[in-house]
Amino acid sequence: MARVLVVGAGLTGGLCAALLLRLRGRMRVAVWEAARGPGGRMNTSRDPHDSNCTADLGAQYITATPYFAEKHQSFYEELVSRGVLKPLLGSVEGITIKDEGICNYVAPRGISSIVKYYLSDSDVLYNRHVTRINLKEGKLEVCCDSGPAEMFDAVVLTMPVPQMLKLQGDMKTLISESQRQRLEAVRFSSRFALALFYEAGTRIDEPWAAKYIVDNPCIRFISIDSKKRSSESPEVGPSVVVHTTVQFGAENVDKEKGDVEPLILEQLQKVLPALPKPTSIKCHKWRFSQVTEAVSSEPGQMTLSIQPLLVVGGDSFTHSNFDGCVESALAVLNVFKCHF
């Protein structure tokens, strides 16, 4: 049986693993993830004082345009029927796409629950940061910074392309010159995210669940996360998420998050002066937030090697949202269907 490795337990990696498993029996699928949990940019972070109080630090909600609602109907239906997605009920002020026929969904158990759902039947190893890939005896030898190297018949890489290009070993010879040029042209925006956690019973008096801010140089988006997800309860405190503007992200991307956190809090005080004092704060730097220049020539994936099979996917080959990841995972799946 072919041994397949999916690198990355974000949405694309989770989908690839689930779709490959659904092909049934023809391959064994493993997932290696550098972080200590699933989600990637679909990160749901916990309050250090109350693990029931959570906040979505990356992706906020899933927006289905009429085109993708139909194209990916089976994916939406499956997630809604399992209760992983529910329609967004709270109001979002200043929402950018206001179109009839657009449907917004939230994940009541946190956005990472989407990825967890897809990974539920997979063998996932966390804290496995892949550092190099070598060609050995017709297979791919994958090395990580913890644990021994292992051999695979096929590998799918799903991290943002700029991170993929840092992999060592035989990657240099596996990527052709013209592929390298297209991969090196990929660009991402950067953003900081802040999660503010509150004690149970704290009231946050705003009429909206989320709001796009248009007149602040630092802050672009604020969500009262518990309200956005309609997961408010008297036992668990509310949480607030703040995203910075693309420009602020670009200007501060090389700073430490500890140095940037006070700058964001100072601006937040101006935008929402009545916000109560949180019990804890987490700051996160998304160096690779959303793709601004995707690989356009390759729809959804790029095949670096056919024998052994080495495929790169992820939103770097489509666009940065749920449907972009589904498109990529389906393109990866097609390569495997032709191959195995």
User: Of these partners, ligand NAG, ligand FAD, none, which one is at the site of residue 34 (CB under 5 to 8 Å by kind)?
Assistant: ligand FAD
CA distance 313 to 16: 9
User: Of these partners, ligand FAD, ligand NAG, none, which one is at the site of residue 278 (CB under 5 to 8 Å by kind)?
Assistant: none
Instruction: Check binding of 199 to ligand NAG (CB under 6 A).
Output: no
Among 23, 26, 48, 52, which residue interacts with ligand NAG (rule: CB under 6 A)? 52
Instruction: Check binding of 191 to ligand NAG (CB under 6 A).
Output: no
Stretch that binds ligand NAG, among 15-23, 36-44, 71-79, 271-279 (CB under 6 A): 36-44
The partner residues of 92 in beta bridges, in order of sequence, read 210
Among 282, 317, 318, 322, which residue interacts with ligand NAG (rule: CB under 6 A)? 282
Instruction: Please report the sign of the dihedral spanned by the C-alpha atoms of residue 127, residue 184, residue 322, residue 155.
Output: negative
Nearest distance, CB of residue 282 and ligand NAG, angstroms? 5
Contacting residues for 324 by C-beta, under 8 A, at least 6 apart: 291, 315, 318
Q: Count of residues for the chain?
A: 340
Stretch that binds ligand NAG, among 37-45, 239-247, 289-297, 308-316 (CB under 6 A): 37-45
Tell me which residue has tokens 């389906």. Answer: 330
Among 2, 27, 35, 80, which residue interacts with ligand NAG (rule: CB under 6 A)? 35
DSSP string spanning 271-315? H-TTPPPPSEEEEEEESS-SEEE---SSSS-EEEETTTEEEE-SG
Are 327 and 314 in contact by the 8 Å Cβ rule? The answer is no
Nearest distance, CB of residue 179 and ligand NAG, angstroms? 29
Residue 229 in tokens: 């997800």
Are 276 and 204 in contact by the 8 Å Cβ rule? The answer is yes
> 32 or 75: whose CB is closer to ligand FAD?
32
Instruction: Check binding of 146 to ligand NAG (CB under 6 A).
Output: no
Interface positions, 220-259, toward ligand NAG (CB under 6 A): none
Helices (H), 145-201: 161-164, 171-174, 177-184
Interface positions, 85-144, toward ligand NAG (CB under 6 A): none
> 34 or 275: whose CB is closer to ligand FAD?
34
Binding site for ligand FAD (CB under 6 A): 7-13, 32-35, 40-42, 58-62, 128-130, 158-160, 163, 191, 193, 243, 286, 289-290, 314-315, 320-322, 324-325
- 86 in helix, strand or coil? strand
Q: What is the DSSP letter of 334?
A: H
